[in-house]
């Protein structure tokens, strides 16, 4: 099994060799589905956000090309465990990550680039919630794994109903729709959403100041120093202030941070105007284009992983049916474990866990991990299909083949498998259609396929949530329905009872 994995990894790695760039890239990991005001797309589809601008600023200061690398927020630091120059590798984590003791032990950490506080946000008309202590008995949404999450758990324990969501914008939407009483958020996000969404307000004084820092590899000492210097310069010459003012994020806390970082007081008063980034236009051509391209990734995942699954499934099934017990038993365990655990966990394991067991340099890219994970999962299901098919071929067929002097393997290949293949076509084609839709699970390991693209788009285009959902579902349907038709045709064509013609 390991050798099969390694050779597959190798094959995929050769395909995905990146071409060299002139300027060294500064690959920064972020989760754009976390959204405004950190990193998000404006109505014109351009990337913006204070961290986008901050990354651009760092790129300029370090003479490197900033390259955004997307991923799930709570998994960003772990990506530092993988090589930076891999296809989805990152140099730094830059996405509102707080200064945390656990992370700073494991990873390098820069000087802070922003001071946030925790703000309490509820509906503007909510009179039952006027101060923090009113939270008792309420439903509170937080971003999973954030400082706010930590704080609410610690300060309110079981006095509130905690609802954890991986997506900031979703939480604010739920509060707005009164499906949650309130949310505790970093002031950055709170300030932005209270300004953007009607009928939301902050309540009480923001609490518990903390710092946003950049995490990088422990041994990347030089890069850390360069970033620290760049941040310090940014405080001094007002570059950071300009960025923060653009998004309405400059406040006394930042002035104080400037002072502690540079010793200069008062900070430069040369303020930039807060710019409106709203460029109106019809977003549909762009969104459709993005969705269709993401659908291409969905198709690619399906057509690469399924043949692999069929091949592995056949080996598993033959081993189980015809192998000695010491081959059949472990294969049986594999099949039951894979069928009995969620695909989601398996993908996590392949992407995050597997590289830690393999020698360096064998870290899988998200795409490789996705294809491999799907193939490993579906191999178990295909194995069961084939096993049923192999057992459905009468025993006399095998005996007749053996009596002619064929070896067991030849008899399986020439006599049993061709007959079993006809039996298993319907369930196998069904599985292909199922796998086609299961590719959406790959969104959890950073692959931008159709479902993830949908999530990304609707985050920035809340007014089209329903339309986007219909278009996305429609895309799945127009792709999977022809598959179903093709499957039926194949079934008919290969039916053993069909008269005439040679196979």
Distances (CA, A) of 144 to 47, 117, 141, 241: 24, 17, 9, 29
Helices and strands (H and E) in the chain: how many: 19, 12
- Binding segment for another protein (CB under 8 A), chosen from 118-126, 310-318, 401-409, 448-456, is 401-409
Out of 303, 400, 478, 484, the residue judged to bind another protein by CB under 8 A: 400
d(CA 68, CA 115): 23
Q: How far is the CB of 316 from another protein (least distance, A)?
A: 22
d(CA 377, CA 400): 35
Which residue spans within 294-443 are E strands per DSSP?
A: none
Q: In the chain, what are the helix, strand and coil shares in percent, each to the nearest 5? A: 60, 10, 30
Q: Per CB under 8 A, does 325 bind another protein?
A: no
Q: Per CB under 8 A, does 496 bind another protein?
A: yes
Q: Per CB under 8 A, does 359 bind another protein?
A: no
Out of 263, 360, 396, 466, the residue judged to bind another protein by CB under 8 A: 396
In the shown chain, the binding pattern of residues 407 to 446 toward another protein, with x for contact by CB under 8 A and - for none, equals: xx-xx--xx--xx--x------------------------
Going by C-alpha positions, the residue among 32, 33, 64 that lies closest to residue 51 is: 32
**338 with 329: CB under 8 angstroms?**
no
Q: How far is the CB of 314 from another protein (least distance, A)?
A: 17
Q: How far is the CB of 492 from another protein (least distance, A)?
A: 16
SS3 state at 294: helix
d(CA 74, CA 420): 46
SS3 state at 486: helix
Q: How far is the CB of 498 from another protein (least distance, A)?
A: 9
Q: How many CB atoms lie within 10 A of CB 359?
A: 8
Out of 105, 405, 466, 485, the residue judged to bind another protein by CB under 8 A: 405
Out of 397, 426, 479, 490, the residue judged to bind another protein by CB under 8 A: 397
Q: How far is the CB of 216 from another protein (least distance, A)?
A: 59
Out of 21, 63, 133, 403, the residue judged to bind another protein by CB under 8 A: 403
What is the secondary structure of 146-196 as a DSSP string?
SHHHHHHHHHHGGGSEEEEES-HHHHHHHHHTTSSSEEEEEHHHHHHHHHH
Q: How far is the CB of 394 from another protein (least distance, A)?
A: 8
Total residues contacting another protein (rule CB under 8 A)? 25
Q: Per CB under 8 A, does 124 bind another protein?
A: no
Q: Per CB under 8 A, does 280 bind another protein?
A: no
Q: How far is the CB of 323 from another protein (least distance, A)?
A: 13
Query: DSSP character for 265?
Result: S
d(CA 311, CA 372): 12
Q: Report the residue number, 251 or 397, with the smaller CB distance to another protein.
A: 397
Q: Which residues bind another protein (CB under 8 A)?
A: 394, 396-397, 399-408, 410-411, 414-415, 418-419, 422, 496-497, 499, 502-503
């Amino acid at each position: 099994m390991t050798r099969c994995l390694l050779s597959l990894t190798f094959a995929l790695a050769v395909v995905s060799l990146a071409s060299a760039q002139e300027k060294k890239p500064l690959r920064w990991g972020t989760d754009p589905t976390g959204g405004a005001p950190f990193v998000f797309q404006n109505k014109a589809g351009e990337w913006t956000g204070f961290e986008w601008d901050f990354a651009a600023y760092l790129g300029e200061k370090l003479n490197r090309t900033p390259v955004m690398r997307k991923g799930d927020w709570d998994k960003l630091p772990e990506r530092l465990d993988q090589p930076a120059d891999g296809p989805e590798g990152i140099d730094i984590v830059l996405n509102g990550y707080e200064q945390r003791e656990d992370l700073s032990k494991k990873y390098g950490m820069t000087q802070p680039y922003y001071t946030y506080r925790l703000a309490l946000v509820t509906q503007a008309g909510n009179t039952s919630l006027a101060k923090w202590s009113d939270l008792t008995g309420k439903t509170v949404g937080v971003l999973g794994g954030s400082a706010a999450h930590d704080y609410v758990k610690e300060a309110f324990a079981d006095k509130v109903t905690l609802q954890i969501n991986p997506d900031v914008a979703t939480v604010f939407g739920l509060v707005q729709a009164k499906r949650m009483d309130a949310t505790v958020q970093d002031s950055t996000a709170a300030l932005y959403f209270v300004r953007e969404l009607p009928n939301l307000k902050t309540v009480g004084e923001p609490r518990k100041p903390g710092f946003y820092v950049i995490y990088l590899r422990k041994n990347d000492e030089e890069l850390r120093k360069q970033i620290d210097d760049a941040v310090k310069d940014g405080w001094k010459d007002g570059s950071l202030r300009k960025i923060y003012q653009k998004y309405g994020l400059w406040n006394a806390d930042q002035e104080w941070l400037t002072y502690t970082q540079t010793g200069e007081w008062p900070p430069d008063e040369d303020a930039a105007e807060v710019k409106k980034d709203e460029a109106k236009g019809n977003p549909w051509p762009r969104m459709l284009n993005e969705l269709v391209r993401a659908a291409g990734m969905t198709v690619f995942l399906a057509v690469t992983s399924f043949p692999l699954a069929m091949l592995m499934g056949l080996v598993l099934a033959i081993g189980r049916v015809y192998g000695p017990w010491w081959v059949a038993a472990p294969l049986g365990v594999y099949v039951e474990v894979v069928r009995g655990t969620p695909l989601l966990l398996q993908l996590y394991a392949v992407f995050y866990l597997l590289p830690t067991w393999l020698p360096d340099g064998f870290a899988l890219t998200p795409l490789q991990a996705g294809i491999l994970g799907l193939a490993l999962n579906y191999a178990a299901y295909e194995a069961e299909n084939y096993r049923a098919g192999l057992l459905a071929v009468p025993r006399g067929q095998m005996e007749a083949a053996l009596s002619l002097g064929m070896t067991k393997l030849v008899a399986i290949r020439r006599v049993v498998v061709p007959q079993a293949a006809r039996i298993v076509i319907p369930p196998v084609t069904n599985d292909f259609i199922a796998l086609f839709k299961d590719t959406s699970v790959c969104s959890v390991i950073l692959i931008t396929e159709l479902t993830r693209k949908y999530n990304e788009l609707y985050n920035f285009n809340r007014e089209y949530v329903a339309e986007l959902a219909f278009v996305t579902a429609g895309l799945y349907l127009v792709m999977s329905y022809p598959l179903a038709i093709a499957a039926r045709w194949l079934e008919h064509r290969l039916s053993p009872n069909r008269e005439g013609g040679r196979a």
